[in-house]
Amino acid sequence: MMKLRFFALAALFVAIMPLKLAAQDFATSRHYWEDGKLTWDDYLSERPQNNDAPVCLTLSYGARKENVKKGSTTYSYVRYYSYVDRYESWAADSARTDELLLYHQTLFDISELYCRKATREYNTMSFTGDGDELFAFYYRQRAKHIDELNQ
């Protein structure tokens, strides 16, 4: 009986350990806006062989339900957020300039701004639409803003 319990615990440990390591890897792969300004240390990927670009910033987006407690009441809301995928972003040494890093930070700031606009609108009492459509609208607004920045 004791051997059976030991093997069951060992099997459980072996089954859980990869999940724990994957969760740790997932946590370190993302740089959220709240984590502070970007640094060149956030560009962890190697440039793919078939890509000549000297730099790549990979911005991604998500949504999650969050709870806020005010007094004795807990409020739930949806929060849209942006993050940099650190393992999908790269920069050649020759591209690592202060100006380019500031430009990428600006893109990240603009992305977060539109996520916050979507969050605010989604969580208003008058919003009755589709969350995916709302986010798509703000994503297009963000792209337009970035296009204007690049002109």
Sort strands 90-91 and 73-85 into parallel, antiparallel or unpaired. Answer: unpaired
Q: Please give the model's pTM, rounded to 2 decimal places.
A: 0.77
Long-range contacts of 65-71 (CB under 8 A, 24+ apart): none
Supply the pLDDT for residue 26.
Answer: 57
* Residue bearing the bigger pLDDT, 132 or 59: 59
- Please count the CA atoms within 13 angstroms of the CA of 81 that sit on its side-chain side: 16
Supply the pLDDT for residue 25.
Answer: 65
Give the whole-angstrom CA distance, residue 111 versus residue 115. 6
What pLDDT, in 10s, does the model give residues 66-108?
Answer: 998 999 999 888 999 999 999 999 999 999 999 999 999 999 9
Supply the pLDDT for residue 98.
Answer: 97
